[in-house]
Amino acid sequence: MFATSADWSFDSIPENFYDKQNEYILEFKSLGAVNFFYVQTSPTTARSMMVWPDKETAHAALVRVREGVAAENGSVIVSVCEGDILASF
């Protein structure tokens, strides 16, 4: 398993966020995501975390997930990280 994470910045949560949420989740699943979490970390920031079956699947999907979604909702990615999952429960 492989995990990716991105920290997002925005002026406010996009007005269409809750309307688009289910659409994004279905799309992420179709791209191979196993799990997805989006955590609001302040009024103007959030962190997305995704679990993928492997690095190749993640990298094939990340352009759409990161660049496409950012363009659609006006968010900016300020940092990213990724790596193999060594343990979980």
pTM: 0.85
Nearest in space to 46 (alpha carbons), one of 37, 55, 54: 37
pLDDT 10s digits, 44-89: 999 999 999 999 999 999 887 777 777 777 788 999 999 999 999 9
Domains in the chain with CATH codes: 2-84 (3.30.70.100)
Written as six digits, the tokens of 67 are 């660049």
3-state secondary structure of 6: strand
- Please report which confidence band the pLDDT of residue 17 belongs to, taking 50, 70 and 90 as the band edges: confident
The reported pLDDT for the residue numbered 66 is: 77
Written as six digits, the tokens of 69 are 């979604």
